[in-house]
Amino acid sequence: MYNNSLTPSHLIILGLLLSFAIAHSGLAALRSWAETKIGHRLYRILFALVSLPLAVILIVYFFNHRYDGLQLWQLQGNPIVKPIVWILSAISFLFLYPSTFNLLEIAAIQKPQVHLHETGIIRITRHPQMVGQIIWCIAHTLWLGTSFTFITSVGLILHHLFGVWHGDRRLQKRLGESYEKLKSRTSVIPFLAIIQGRQTLHLQEFLRWAYLGVGVFVLLFWQAHPILIRATGNIDW
């Protein structure tokens, strides 16, 4: 299971991360131009056709090589660590898949649009996916403790930090003063705007079916996690 050396897989995962970042951020940068040429729905479909296969390759490769490299620490025998990892993972999904997403728009059934709002998770941070990804990386790096996982996590976090800068820049250019006002009332760092008195937290906004759906998904994923690991192990990447 363990390979206590800096294997080529370290460079391969960085290459895969870079490819995904270029494709994902590049297509995002071209969104306004592309939508005028091919329309909102076709752009969304094209975005998915490029991004999803790269994401699947990344996930499968990560699962199959997660124990590569140096074992930096080993905490899996600690009874406290496992529940901490699962709690952090569950919290990460609440940020990664907030109820602000419109599933019909994601599937391009409805016309995809840019929504400006500051409710629910956006009151905590206006970039919930970045926060969720960092929490996920912390949880999995803590559990696995390998140099491969550490390098993967660093790459993912850098990509999402770039996404924060890039996203703010694109939306500022596209929406102007409206987005500037949103930025003034929200924060990137979780709870910072609330602590500074620029925002207030309304817990009732989290009492939504979408959050219950995320909770059910986490429970199902917890049950299916070993199956997923075995399934990806059958792919010789």
pLDDT for 200 equals: 93
pLDDT for 100 equals: 46
pLDDT for 116 equals: 62
CA 200/CA 194 separation, integer angstroms: 5
Domain membership of residue 137 (yes or no) is: yes
Domain membership of residue 99 (yes or no) is: yes
Q: What is the count of structural domains for the chain? A: 1
Residue position matching structure tokens 């709690």 = 87
Domain that holds residue 35: 9-233
Domain membership of residue 71 (yes or no) is: yes
Residues of the chain predicted below pLDDT 70: 1-4, 98-116
Domain membership of residue 152 (yes or no) is: yes
Domain membership of residue 134 (yes or no) is: yes
CA 101/CA 108 separation, integer angstroms: 12
Domain membership of residue 3 (yes or no) is: no
CA 35/CA 11 separation, integer angstroms: 35
φ, ψ of residue 185 to 5 degrees: the values are -110, 0
Domain membership of residue 4 (yes or no) is: no
CA 3/CA 134 separation, integer angstroms: 25
Distances in whole angstroms, Cα of residue 124 to Cα of each of 86, 182, 203, 224:
21, 13, 11, 30
CA 155/CA 162 separation, integer angstroms: 11
pLDDT for 43 equals: 86
pLDDT for 115 equals: 56
Domain membership of residue 1 (yes or no) is: no
pLDDT tens-digit readout, 118-139: 888 889 999 998 999 999 999 9
